[in-house]
Amino acid sequence: MSRTVYVNGEYLPEEDATISVFDRGFLFADGVYEVTSVLEGKLIDFDGHAVRLERSLGELEMPMPMSRDELLEIHRRLVAENGIEDGMVYLQVTRGAADRDFAYPPEGTRQTVVLFTQSKPGLADSPVAKAGIKVVTLPDLRWDRRDIKTVQLLYPSMGKMAAKAQGADDAWMVEEGVVTEGTSNNAYIVKGGVIVTRNLGPEILHGITRAAVLRFAREAQMKVEERAFTVEEAKAADEAFVTSATTFVTPVVEIDGVPVGQGAPGPVAQRLREIYLEESRKAAV
Ligand code: PMP
């Protein structure tokens, strides 16, 4: 069934939605994106995603193309028109279309704004979350500004393929012996009841789910350490897990073929997933 998508002010059937071949998102990956999940027809942590969008744009000297309220309105209309119960809304903003030139186009060049939905029935009770995922480690060969959510996703895409080729589900990326993050998620370990995840900085994306999960963990009196951890530490941990907007909290049961803890989803990850889903649903818009 054809979806309604949003392109530069218009709501169109997907087959009629087009952007220019000169778009800088296409030619230079000169654009940023956000993915907001939808549960029971409502948006999870819309404000968090809108704030990060504005920050990513700012780091690339681009303005917000419209107000947060207007963005929310577009998200809601697409969810309604496409009948999304569970799924996600993808948003991309690029510097627009201009003659191909490394220099940014003249001020006033219209940014490209595209939004579309993907339906994912049963998103919150995926069998993958119950079984846990296997990860392999890979060198982190991305650029040094991973805190900006750009559409340069080729290396993470290659990482996912490399993981699959090794019979795993995903890859954790490693730099100078320590884990940065997963290809499309933030990475955590649990040891002796302490939750450890990489501290914020340009080395990782500042996950919106990460911020919420750490807040809920602290509110539940769990101990949290934001610091780098090694692959060896991760393999010897009691538990491991990842977080992202569309996978929430997902246990990791194996790292490079080594079972983590009992080789099954651990109690901390499972509890955090429950809390996250419960609290996020309550606050959904
Ligand atoms: N790190 C990377 C590299 C990602 O691509 C993502 C998901 N876009 C995340 C972390 C998780 O971020 P969020 O919780 O905001 O989805």
When pLDDT is averaged across residues 259-266 and rounded to a whole number, the result is 97
Could you tell me where the DSSP H helices lie in 98-225? 127-131, 154-165, 208-219
Secondary structure (3-state) at 156: helix
Residues 6 or more apart in contact with residue 262 via CB below 8 angstroms: none
Mutate to test the pocket of ligand 1, among 185, 206, 250 (most ligand atoms within 8 A of CB): 185
Give Dmax (Cα) for the chain: 58
Instruction: Report the residue count for the chain.
Output: 285
pLDDT of residue 164: 98
pLDDT in tens, 174-187: 999 999 999 999 99
| 169 Cβ closer than 6 Å to some ligand 1 atom | no
Q: Measured in angstroms, how far is the CA atom of residue 99 from the centroid of ligand 1?
A: 32
Please report, rounded to a whole number, the percentage of residues in the chain having pLDDT higher than 90.
Answer: 99
Torsions phi, psi for 173 (to 5 deg): -95, 140
Residue nearest to atom 10 of ligand 1 (CA): 185
Nearest alpha carbon to residue 253 among 181, 190, 166, 176:
190
Tell me the pLDDT band of 275, cut-offs 50, 70 and 90: very high
The pair of structure tokens assigned to 166 is 């090794």
pLDDT in tens, 19-53: 999 999 999 999 999 999 999 999 999 999 999 99
Q: How far is 80 from 92, CA to CA, in rounded Å?
A: 19
* Positions marked active-site: 149
pLDDT at 83 over 90: yes
Structural domains in the chain, sorted by start: 4-122 (3.30.470.10), 127-283 (3.20.10.10)
pLDDT in tens, 135-177: 999 999 999 999 999 999 999 999 999 999 999 999 999 999 9
Amino acid letter for position 120: K
Mutate to test the pocket of ligand 1, among 244, 247, 277 (most ligand atoms within 8 A of CB): 244
pLDDT of residue 9: 97
Secondary structure (3-state) at 215: helix
Q: State the number of CA atoms in the 13 A half-sphere of 188 facing the CB.
A: 31
Q: Which residue has the tokens 């191909």?
A: 100
Q: How confident is the prediction for the chain on average, in pLDDT?
A: 97
The pTM of the whole model exceeds 0.85: yes
Instruction: Count the Cβ atoms, other than its own, within 10 Å of residue 159.
Output: 26
Q: How far is 23 from 15, CA to CA, in rounded Å?
A: 18
